[in-house]
Amino acid sequence: MKQIFGVFILALTSFFVSAEDGHNLWLRNSKSKPVNVVCLKNSPTLTIAKQELQLGWQGEASASISLKIKQDKAIIGNGFKISKNEIQANTGFGILYGVFELLRRQQTGEEIIPAIVNASYERRILNHWDNPDGSIERGYAGGSIFWRKNNSFEVTENDKKLWQEYARANASVGINGTVLNNVNASPLILSKEYLERVKAIAEMLRPYGIKTYLSVKFSSPSLVGGLKTSDPLNPDVIKWWNDKIHEIYNMIPDFGGFLVKASSEGQPGPQDFGRTHADGANLLADALKPFGGIVMWRAFVYSATDEDRAKQAYLEFMPLDGKFRDNVIIQVKNGPIDFQPREPFSPLFGAMKKTSIMPELQITQEYLGQSVHLVFLATMWEEFLKSETYQEGSGSSVARCTDGSIFPQKHTAIAGVANIGLDTDWCGHQFAQSNWYAFGRLAWNNQLTSEQIANEWLKLTFSQSNSSSDQSGTSDDWNDHFLKPVQKMMMDSRETAVNYMMPLGLHHIFAANEHYGPGPWWAPKGMRKDWTPPYYHKADSAGIGFDRTQTGSNAVSQYHEPLGSQYSDLKTCPEIYLLWFHHLPWDYKMKSGKTLWDEICYHYDTGVQQVREFQKVWDKVRPYVDPERFSQVQSKLREQCINAQVWKDACLLYFQQFSHRVIPFEIERPVHDLNELIKNDLKRH
Ligand code: GCV
């Protein structure tokens, strides 16, 4: 009888959980109470702020809230002062951020204590790798929301609606800039037709405090300007950029500036003309300066030399420290290689002391299961931002080295490569939305914990009291049976992916260019060595791992002491980075007492078991989730589980050819055949 009753309750609960497709993201506030908003000034931004309060107010019914623009030196830029019934700011954008903060606190039940809230970074920017033909490099959630195939430039009502929704979502987490096109930039973006569309986009984003930026191709003067050269010191080239920038600001007066990938992965750059990165960046910076624009110049550079790829950006950029204009920011990926599931931080952070540096994170999960695997990236970003660089003594975390707390940077910024596309749920996976959310939250406050972010996001995105449904799963019940287990799953999810993909410091062992499935064997004839996994894992009969100590590439020397020595010394090197810095024998004794080979096996197996647990967690929370979002996540977890098993089998069977050791018998045996796996690269469905 008890059982039947239980099933009945379950069925009833699910019935009341109304359908949602995820399009509303974390902004599902339809159960608001009346509120009286007092605001003496008017502007499009303030109108939005008032509307948001009316849409989402969950404080005392019919309370009054005052929005006050009043200068206060303690409030920096678009920061704000918040209390239960008043938001004060220097600007309308500050008011809008304050409103979103207040609403979030109301909706998540977080206390509203009077405080001044300033952002960690002045510029919090999404990078879209969207191409003019509507495709997205490393995009897994449909086509571009900005660009369409067949050069269709008509701005439709649908476009405008989508851009506005996009702007609102960004503003709600404090994102205030967006680069609208791929860093592998088409020169077309600077043509009149494209700029007209940029202008239309900018108009929709402006009231939400979001500036538009563009990626530009360094050779644009010759490619679209018809010049014979794009040499940054050539007067005609300088004039061409000046004129182009003038044209842009005539159309978009608050344009943010340029992002540039130059002399990198085949992209043209100043080095084609015997010039330096500084020559190239300064040319654009000088032209942008009169309009207040900035240049984000990427440090993602490596060439096919014998030098360890992990060392190259540092080698190329350190000699240029102090040579860049003050409106140039060097944009550095979090790790020295390329957005791997785990990397130590790039040694450039904190090392370039006379140059502004900004971190680049990847929100789109190129190397982390794309839009199939549930991986909450905030734990990775927290690990990165809190990494100790020792550059100015202890306490010199990456966060503090980049947000102006230690170095007097003229501009501070952080970028995230967006995971947004035309899919109804924007990101291709309900949980991938949490990474967009988390990027914004960390960009606003780089001291936040990933746990707090997961907690907020889950409450906003899944809580029934934030939906239009009448059902309100009692809070305790919801907290215990949904929030706690799902939050734990999110918190564990990145380490899980590291376990089944590349534990203990292994990196870049993907098959082919898709960067999805495993391919430790992948090394097509004629391929650049540093684009193939054997270059990174270096497995042989003696052992596995990349020796980056003094006996190897000596990349450790790029880290400030005592870090360099810590990484070098096996006694102090964190095991999470072990095979990043060391080549070790298969029988090397780990801290657990196991051999390295056994430890590798256990990590892969643990990863698979963890995904199986995630499946159970999710299946159990069915009564608390609407059917549409529930089944999307359920089926993605099934695929993730199959994929994790493939990763484990592929890596263990492949490395076993070198280790010649058995897979410990407590571990479930591989179920795949290595030759079959090698023949058929894992495909995303
Ligand atoms: C936009 C990696 C990616 C490329 C990307 C490049 C970059 O190599 O695989 O798709 O190109 O990084 O960040 O420039």
The full 3-state SS of 513-579, as one line of letters, equals CCCCCECCCCCCCCCCHHHCHHHHHCCECCEECCCCCCCCCCHHHHCCCCHHHHHHCCCCCCHHHHH
Q: How far is the centre of ligand 1, averaged over its atoms, from the C-alpha of 647 (Å)?
A: 23
What are 17-29's pLDDT values in tens digits?
667 999 999 999 7
Q: How far is the centre of ligand 1, averaged over its atoms, from the C-alpha of 186 (Å)?
A: 15
- In the set 130, 279, 308, 338, the catalytic residue is 338
Q: Which residues, in sequence order, are bridge partners of residue 415?
A: 125, 360
Atom of ligand 1 nearest to the CA of 515: 9
Rounded distance between C-alpha atoms, residue 262 and residue 276, angstroms: 10
> How would residue 472 be classed by pLDDT, with cut points 50, 70 and 90?
very low
265 part of the active site = yes
What is the mean predicted confidence (pLDDT) over 504-524?
Answer: 96
Check whether 9 has a pLDDT greater than 50. Answer: no
Q: Give the closest residue (by CA) to ligand 1 atom 2.
A: 338
What is the mean predicted confidence (pLDDT) over 70-91?
Answer: 97
Q: Who has greater pLDDT, 304 or 555?
A: 555
483 phi/psi in degrees, rounded to 5: -55, -50
Q: Which residues, in sequence order, are bridge partners of residue 64?
A: 36
338 part of the active site = yes
531 is written with which tokens? 């684009």
What are 255-273's pLDDT values in tens digits?
999 999 999 999 999 999 9
pLDDT at site 145: 98
Rounded distance between C-alpha atoms, residue 155 and residue 119, angstroms: 33
What is the mean predicted confidence (pLDDT) over 328-336?
Answer: 98
Closest C-alpha among 381, 386, 399, 297 to residue 342: 381
- In the set 243, 247, 265, 676, the catalytic residue is 265
306 part of the active site = no
Rounded distance between C-alpha atoms, residue 94 and residue 667, angstroms: 55
Contact 376, 431 (CB under 8 A): yes
Instruction: Respond yes or no on whether the N-terminal peptide bond of residue 336 is cis (omega within 30° of 0).
Output: no
What single-letter amino acid sits at 333? K
**Helices 596-620 and 484-501, axial angle in degrees (round to 10):** 150
Rounded distance between C-alpha atoms, residue 240 and residue 364, angstroms: 34
Residue 19 makes CB contacts below 8 A (sequence gap 6+) with: 626, 627, 628
Of 17-26, 387-396, 471-480, 607-616, which gets the smallest average pLDDT? 471-480
**CA distances from residue 337 to 36, 136, 333, 355, 371 in whole angstroms, order as listed:** 52, 22, 8, 21, 22
pLDDT at site 30: 67
Which of 137, 217, 532 most suits a substitution to test ligand 1, by most atoms within 8 Å of the C-beta? 137
- In the set 366, 425, 530, 605, the catalytic residue is 366
pLDDT at site 31: 77
Within 10 Å of residue 658's Cβ, how many Cβ atoms?
18
Residue 375 in 3-state DSSP? coil
